[in-house]
Amino acid sequence: MLNYYMQKQAISFELNGKKETVDNVSATTTVLEYLRSSGKTGTKEGCGDGDCGACTIALINEDIDGNKSYQAMNSCLMPIAAIDGKQVFTVEGIANKTLHPVQQAMVDSGGSQCGYCTPGFIMSMFAGHYSDQLSDESIEGNLCRCTGYVAIRKAAKTITKAKSNDKFAKKLKTKPKANKSIELALKGHRYFSPISLNDVFIYQAKYKNAVLIAGATDLGLDLSNKRRDFPVLISLENVAELKQINESSESLEIGAAISLSQIEHKLAGRFDVLDTMLKFFAARQIKNRATIGGNIGTASPIGDLLPVFLALDAAVNLQNANQKRAVLLAEYFTGYRQTKKEADEVIISVTIPKKEAGLKRLSHSYKIAKRGTDDISIVAASFVIDLNKENKITHARLAYGGVAAIPIRAIAAEKYLLNKSWSKKTILKAKEILLNEFTPLDDLRASASYRNSIVANLFEKFFVEVKL
C-alpha cells in the first residue's frame, strides 16, 4: 500500500515569488522550454546539454539535514515535473525597484558584453551569494563566448564582500514542508515522486515501462534533445532511504540519491580520491543535481565517479521488493552500459570499506578533458596505494574510465606492484605494463595511442605529486 500521496493533474510551484500552476504541458517538458514559452526569456537557451550555463536558474533546496539553500541548476535538463512544490527564481525575479546586488556588481564591472550569457552568470552568482560560497567555482559552469571573464570574476569578487538580509535570505529561514508522494498525470505522461522505497517498488510493479530518474543530468539530455519519449518516470529525488549517510567502524555507506554537491561538502577530507574527482567532475549546476546512483545507473564507461569507487573497492547495494544484495563494483559491469542490476531493483547506496589500520594510504584522482570541469572525460583515473612501515606496497588499485567499454582496473599493473617498494624504479616498470594493459577506444575525443600514453603517464604523475 502506498504511503500518503497526492494525485494531481497540474504542476504547482512558486516562480519568482508568485504561485504558478501548469496543466497544459507534458510532465517531461523541460523547465527551460516552459520558461521561454511563458515569456521568461531572460533564461537563455545555449547548448541544451548542460554545458554552457546560459539557462541557469536558482531553486531553494534542502540538504539531507533539512537546511535550505539556493542552488543554481541547468533548466535545460530538468523536466518541469521536477520543480513541483519548489521555489524557483529566474533573472527576471531577483530585481525589484533596483537591481539586485549581483546585477549591480556586473554592471559596475562591465561584465556584460553581448549579454547572452549574462543572465546565467547572474543566477549562478545569486545562488553563491546566499550560500556564502561565491567564487570561481560558483560560475565555472557558465561560459562567456566574448571572453569577458576578467570583468565577470571582478564582479563576483565584489559581491563576495557584501552580506544580505533581504527577502531572499529570509526565504531560507522558513520551515520546510512535510514531503508526500506525488502522482502527476499530464499530456499523456505520468511522473511519480514517491517518498519511500516501498512506494517505488509499487510503482515499478504497476508500470513495467517506467524509467527511474534522479538528477536527470544524463537522462535530461534525451529530454532536451527529444531523443526519447518517457511515458512514465519514477523520481527517486525524495526517497528518504536513499538520502542517508551511515558509518560503522568498518565502512561508510552513501545514499544513492544524495547530490554530489552535498557529498562534496559532507565528506570533504574523508577520501582524497573522491575529493579530487568531485572537484573536476562537473560544474556546480550539474553537481547540484547529479547523484551517485545516477552515475552508476547510467553504466557509462566515462562516468567519472566509477573509477573512484573501483579504486576504493566499493560495493553497490541493490534492492527490490523482496530482498537487498550487494555487488562489488569490480564485478558489477558486464558490458557496455550493461550491469548485474535486475529490472526490478533500485540502486540504494554505495558502501566504501575503510582502510586497514597501520597502513599509510596514498590516493588521488585525475580527469583529462578538453575543458576542466565542463566536459566529458578523455581519460579518468583514480589511484589508491597502501604502504606498510617498510614503504612496501600492500594494496594497489589503479582504476580508469574512458579506456574500455566498461570502467576498469589495471589488474596486471596492480599485481606487479604488490610487495614492491614505492620507488621510481617500480613506477617506471608499472608504466611499461600499463602501456600494454588496455586497448583503448579510438574516437573523436582522442586516439587510442594518446589514451594509452595518458593511462601510463597519469600513474607517474601520481607518484611525483602525491607525497609520502
**What are the pLDDT digits (tens) for 171-206?**
998 887 777 888 999 888 999 999 999 999 999 999
Ranges of residues in the chain with a pLDDT under 70 are: 1-5, 161-163, 374
Nearest alpha-carbon partner for 126 in 97, 88, 83: 88
pLDDT digits (tens, 9 = 90+) for 280-297: 999 999 999 999 999 999
* Tens-place pLDDT, residues 431-468: 999 999 999 888 888 899 999 999 999 999 999 999 77
The predicted structure's pLDDT at residue 7: 83
Query: In 10 A of CB 198, how many CB atoms?
Result: 16
Domain ranges in the chain are: 244-353, 360-465
244-353: CATH topology is 3.30.465
Domain spanning 360-465: which CATH class is it, in words?
Answer: alpha beta
